[in-house]
Structure 1
Amino acid sequence: MHPRRSAQEVLLCDLCETVPLQSHCELCNINLCVNCVGKHLSDSSKDHNIVPFIKHIKSTPNNPKCPKHANKHCEMFCEKCDVPVCSTCVTSGKHKGHDISDVLEKLSAKTESLQKDLEELESRIYPRYEEMASGVQTEKSELETNYGKLTTAADQQGEALHREVTAIVNQRKSDIQEMKNKHMAALDKNTDEITQRITELRKIIEDLKKILNTKDVSLTSTYKSRNGEFRQLPPEVRVTLPSLSPQKINTEKLREMFSSLSPLSINTEQGDTMKSAEAVSSPPVKPLLDEPRVTATIDTGYRPLYSVSCLSEDQVWTLGENKTMKLLNLQSKLLTSIQTKSGIPPRDIAVTRDGDLVYTDDSNNTVNLIKNKQIQTVITLQGWRPGYVCCTADNDLLVTMDSDDWKQSKVVRYSGSTEKQSIQFDDQGRPLYSSGGYYKHLSENKNLDICVADCNARAVVVVNQSGKLRFRYTGHPSNTKQSFNPRGITTDSQSHILTADINNNRIHILDQDGQFLRYIHCDKYYPCGLCVDIRDNLFVAEFDTAKVKKIQYL
C-alpha cells in the first residue's frame, strides 16, 4: 500500500509523505504539513500562495486522483475514452491523438446535466411513480367494496332463484293436497253406498229368521227374495295414486339461469414513456381568433368530397367518390393523382411523417402505402374492415375498424405491418365505440390522446395513450337545430381538438380535456374532412361543394 494512503484515507504532506497535511500552495498545487511550509517557501524561484487546506478544498473542485499515476490528479478529460486523465496519461501512448478537454469544463457540463436529471427526477418522474403507487393503493382499498358488490349480487340472484323454487314446491304441494281430497271424497261416497246395503241386508236377514221361527203361512207366502239384487255387489272405487317423478337436475342449465360472471382479466400493459422535460416544453401560446378567416379555396372537382390530408402548407391530398386520390395546390392545380389497386374508392387517406400517402380499402380489407407512386399493401385484415387512418408522432398508424358482421369496432395501432395495440373496451368491459357505424374519423393529439369522432354514437371519444377512456364529448347545449353529428376530426399544436359537425354546419373547438371553447361556422356546405398543417392552418373538406377551404383560426 502507498505510504500516503490507508483505510481511513489520511491525507499526508506531498513533501515529507509522513505528516498529515494542513496547508496548500495554490500556485504550486501542492499539499504541505506545518513543518514543510517553511521549506516550500524557501524556494524563491517561484511565487507561492499558502492557504489552509480546508479553505482550498471548499473552493477547488475535487479532481480525482489518477488510478495509474499515484501522485497525480486528473486535470484533463479524454473525450474519446470518456475518462478523466492526468498530464502523464496524456503524454502516454494510450491517449495519444485523442481529443482532450479541461476537466473543469467537463465537470461543469456534467454538473449541469446532473442538475437537470435531478430536477426531472424530483419534479416529474418521482411524482408520477408516487401517483401510480397511490392509484394502486386506491384500487386495493376499493377491492373489498367492489368484490363485496359482486357477492351481494350473487346472494340476491340466489334468493330470487330460491323464491322461484319455493313457489314451485308450494304449488306442487297444493296440487297433491287437492288430489288427496278428491281421492278421499270418492272413498267416502263408496263407503256410504256399502254401509247402506249392509243395513238393508241386516234387516232382510232378521226378517227371514222371524218367518222361519213362526212358521206363519201368510208371511211365508208373501216373502219376496232380494238375493238376486244383492248378488250384484256395489261398484269398487279404484284410484291410481299419483306419482312425483323428479327430473335429474341439469347443473349446466341451472348455471345458465344464474347470472354469468365474466372472467377476471389481469393485463400488464407496457407503461407509458414519459417525454423528457425538453420534449414537453409548452409550444408558443396561440390564442383563438374572434373571427376565423378563409385564406384559400381549392376546387377539387369531386362530387361529393370526403377527406383532406395536408402534405405541406400549400399542398393537400384529397379523396372523393371515385378511385382516384388527388394532390392539389392552393390554386386548385392537380400535381399528382393515384388510383387504388382495387379500382374501388378508398375509405380514408392520411400523410405519414415521411410525406408518403396511406389509404384504407375496405373492399379488400387492406391498408396501403404509396411511396414514389408505387402502392405497397402493408396490412391485410382477416374478419375486420379497415375504416379511417391517421399517422402518430412516432410514425405509427392508427386505424379504426369494424368486424365483418358490423357488431364490433376498435382502434388498432400498427408499426409498419406489426400490430402494437388494440383499443376496444373500457375498464368495465364495455365497448368504447359504437358498432355498425360507418364513420369513425380519428386523430392523435399532442398529449398522445387518441380522439375518435364516432358519428353513430354522436360523440367524440377520447382515450389516453394506453387506451383508457378520458372523456366523451356529445356536443354543446347550443345544438338546438339538429343533434351533434361528428365527422372529421383533427388536433393542433395547442392540443385543441377540432371536429366537424356536419348536421349543424360548424366545427367545434375543444381543449384537450373536452371543454368546449367555440365554433367555426361553415355556412351550409356540410364540413366533412379536417386536417391541420404545421402552422396550425385548418383545411376543411366541404361535402356538398367539393371544395377545400384553408382557414386561419389562431
Structure 2
Amino acid sequence: MSESSDEQAAMQHYLVCGTEDCQKNGQFYCNACHRPLCEQCRNKHENTPNTRNHEIVLYRYRKQQLPLEKCQDHPTRNVDIFCRECKTPICSKCSTMKEHEGHKFDDLEDIYAEKYALLQGEFKKIQKYFLPTSQDLKTGIEEDVKQIKKIMESIRTSMKAEAKSLKNLVDEVTSENVEHTHTMEKSLLEMLKSQETTYDDYITYLWKMSDQFQEYLSITNHKLLFKSKTLKIQPIPETTKPIPPVFTAGQFNKDDIKKLLGKVNFSNIDPAKRKIQPMEAVTAHMKSTEKQLEQSKEKSDMKQTLSLSSSVTKVCREYSVPGVNKACHVSVDKSGRLWVSDWSGNLVQTDLQGKQLQKIKACTQSAGYHTASQDGELIYTDQDKKMIYRITPDRKITEFIKTGDWTPISIHSSCINGDILVGMFRKVTRYSKTGKKIQNIQRDNKGQELYSVPYYITENINGDICTSDYNKDTVVVVNKSGKHMFSYTGQGSRFCPWGICTDILGHILVCDIVNESVHLLDQGGEFLSVILSPQQGIKSPRALCVDDENNLYVGQDGTNIVTVYKYL
C-alpha cells in the first residue's frame, strides 16, 4: 500500500479486522502478525499463550512490515537481520557464519520501520509544509507582481503629468516672449513712422522752397532779383536706423531637462525577507489533527485543531490535596481523578472535588514514581524493595515487576502501546505491559552514559523517551530505539529540571526548579518559551501532567495545591 493509500485508509470510517471472518473495526494492529485487529480480537490475541507477548498498538502507530527479500547465499531464507559491523542486511543463517562471528546484529524490520517512518515524516513535510508554504510564497509573489505593476503605472502617470506641467510652463514663457516681441516691434515701427513723418514734412518744405525759387527765377525785372532776399535751404533732417532685436537661443540640453523633471530610482532600503511560516506550527497542526482523528470516537467535542495560546490561563479547578505536604508528582487517570505524591512517600488519590479516596505509603525520597495506565490502573515503584506495584481500579495492590539489582526511580506507562518505561540509576528499561523486559538504554553512540538519576520520565507522541536527570541538570531525549536525539540544558547559567510531560502536539514541558518556571520545547528540543513563571503566580513548580483534555496540572513545592492551566 502506498503512503497516500495508507493515509486514505487511516481516514476511512474504519479498517477491517484482519482476523478471518471478522468484519469489525480494526483500530488496533499487531506488529508481530502485521494485521489490523478489532478490540475483541485484540483481547483474544493478548490472552492467547502463543500471541500474548505480541506487540499490539493503535493502527496509526503500526510498524511497517519488512518487504520479503531472499538471501543470495541462502535462497530459502529471508533477509531479516542487519549486521552492524558489515553494515549489510543478512539472513539468520548468515549470522552464524564465520565471517559474522562476534558481530552485533539489529532487527532489520525495526530499522526498516524507523527508516520508513522517517521517510514518511519527510514525505508529510513536503505535502503538508513545504509544498503549501511554497505555494503561499508563490501566491505572495503573484500579489507583488500586481502591486508592482500598479505602482509603476502610477509612477508613469505622475511622470507624464509632470512633463505636461513643464510643457505648460514652456508654452506660458514662450507666449510671454512672443508677446514681448510684438511690443518691441510696435515701438520700432512707431519710431520709423515718426522718421517717415519727418521726411514727409521735409519733402513738403522742399516743394514749397522749390516753388519760391521758381517764382524768383521767372521775374523779368532783374533789378528786383538783386534786391530780393537770399533763400537758404534747410539741411536734410538726420534720422537713425533702427537696431532690430537679436534672438539669443536658450542654453540647455537633455541633462538640464532631466534635472528639471523628477526621476525614478531603486530604493536603497534592504528588501525584507518573505515571511515563511515555521515548520513547528504546521507540524503541530498536522499532529493535532491526526490525534483528533484517532480520538474522534471517544471525544466528539475535540473538533478544532489545537495550537499554542498566546497566554496561559488558570482554569477554575484548583486542588488542595489532603494527606500530602508537597505536590512533587501528579498523575491523572482515565476518570480524571488525581494521584499526588510528596517527598515523604505519601501517595494519595482524590476525586474531581479534591476529596481523598485512598492513601498508601509508598517509597520515600523519590519523585516521578507513579503513572496511570491505559487500563485505568496506577503503577508505582518502591526503591527500597526494588519492586514495581500496580493498583487496580478496585484498589487491589499487587506486585508487578521485580527490578533485581537495579533501583527504580521514575516510571511512565506508554499511551502508544502500553509499555512501561522505568528510569533507574544510570539507565532506562522498557517492559511490556505484561512485565517482560524488552529494552535497556544506557549509553549513546559514543559509549558515554546517558543517565545518572532520571527523576522523571515520559514518552512523546513519536515514541521518544524524555527524562529529566537531577544529577546531570539535563533533559535527555532518546528515540524508541534508544538512539540519543538531543539534550536540553536550559536557557540560563543554571538549570535544574524536575517534572516533565508531553502534550498532544508533541511539545515537551519541563519544570526548572532553580528559576521557578516551566519551559516549553518543541519535539526536536528547540526552546519555544517559558509558559509559567513567578509572574503568573507560580511558585516552586515541581510536578507536571497533561490530561486527555489538554489541561496542564502543576504541583508546587512547599504546598499541597495542584493548579490546572490551559495553554493550548
TM-score by length of 1: 0.48
TM-score by length of 2: 0.47
